[in-house]
Chain A
Amino acid sequence: NAGVTQTPKFRVLKTGQSMTLLCAQDMNHEYMYWYRQDPGMGLRLIHYSVGEGTTAKGEVPDGYNVSRLKKQNFLLGLESAAPSQTSVYFCASSPWTSERNTQYFGPGTRLTVL
């Protein structure tokens, strides 16, 4: 049981390049999330999904797109990377929305945009 995994762990892009971050979970969770973590800003929600085939915007969605074609995978895309997108990206999942449920986090992807 691997939990939540993220690919890649590190990446360096040039401005204008595109890339896709992959998040996978093997816990059969309904909900999945993408966050970014920046110094002095804490974790901020980019996009989330409440089930296969669904996506919704979070707090800072601009410049990112997501897809949830399979329940276990949640993809985060950057179509034209900008230096402002240099950050650590975390994926998380949870079974459903409940007072008793927490979110399970992946190890993060450190992205640098030059």
Chain B
Amino acid sequence: KQEVTQIPAALSVPEGENLVLNCSFTDSAIYNLQWFRQDPGKGLTSLLLIQSSQREQTSGRLNASLDKSSGRSTLYIAASQPGDSATYLCAVIGASGSRLTFGEGTQLTVNP
């Protein structure tokens, strides 16, 4: 059974700092890995999707990497802003290709 773990569970940083969120998964036979953002009381918004054959994806100040062999992904946020405050969720789709398994998320607070 696939398990996804995110570290740390919560992170508080001052504005402008670069930061890294970590995600690990137990079964390396994945279809893709995705990072989502969830604001309080809201649904999830997809940030980045890395296909199993890819190593990284970038969108603006966000960069996500994937190392399938070690079962790890990182989300790098450059020059953090208070608007980045949210919960960030990592999820993988297994070999069956239809079911996302989520981590519990990292709650990020960026202080002005």
Shortest CB distance A9–B (Å): 10
Q: Any chain A CB within 8 A of the CB of B83?
A: no
Q: Which of A11-19, A37-45, A63-71 faces chain B?
A: A37-45
Does chain A have a CB within 8 A of B27?
no
A93–B50 Cα distance when bound, in Å, is: 19
Q: CB of A28 within 8 A of chain B? A: no
Question: A90: shortest Cβ distance to chain B, in Å?
Answer: 6
B98 within 8 A of A: yes
Q: Are B44 and A45 in contact (CB under 8 A)?
A: no
What A residues does B112 contact at CB under 8 A? none
Interface size on A, residues (CB 8 A): 26
In the complex the two chains form, is B99's CB within 8 Å of A45's CB? yes
Q: A42-B105, A90-B44 are in contact. Are A100 and B99 (CB under 8 A)?
A: no
User: CB-CB contacts of A83-97 with B at 8 A, as 1s and 0s?
Assistant: 000000010100001
Contacts of A106 in B (CB 8 A): 43
Q: Number of A-B pairs whose CB atoms are under 8 Å?
A: 56
Question: Is the Cβ of A102 less than 8 Å from the Cβ of B51?
Answer: no
Residue contact A108 to B103, C-beta cutoff 8 Å: no
B58 lies within 8 A of chain A by Cβ: no
- Residues in B neighbouring A101, C-beta threshold 8 A: 49
Residues of B with C-beta under 8 A to A44? 102
State whether the Cβ of A99 lies closer than 8 Å to any Cβ in chain B: yes
Assess the B46–A103 pair: CB atoms within 8 A: yes
In the complex, are the beta carbons of B31 and A99 less than 8 A apart? yes
* Any B CB within 8 A of the CB of A77: no
Whether B104 contacts A41 by the Cβ 8 Å rule is yes
Contacts of A74 on B, CB cut-off 8 Å?
none
Within B6-54, the residues touching A (CB, 8 Å) are 31-32, 34, 36, 41-46, 49, 51-53
Which residues of B does A touch, CB under 8 Å?
4, 31-32, 34, 36, 41-46, 49, 51-53, 89, 91, 93, 97-100, 102-105
Taking Cβ atoms with an 8 Å cutoff, the residues of A that contact B are 4, 31, 33, 40-45, 48, 50, 58, 90, 92, 97-108
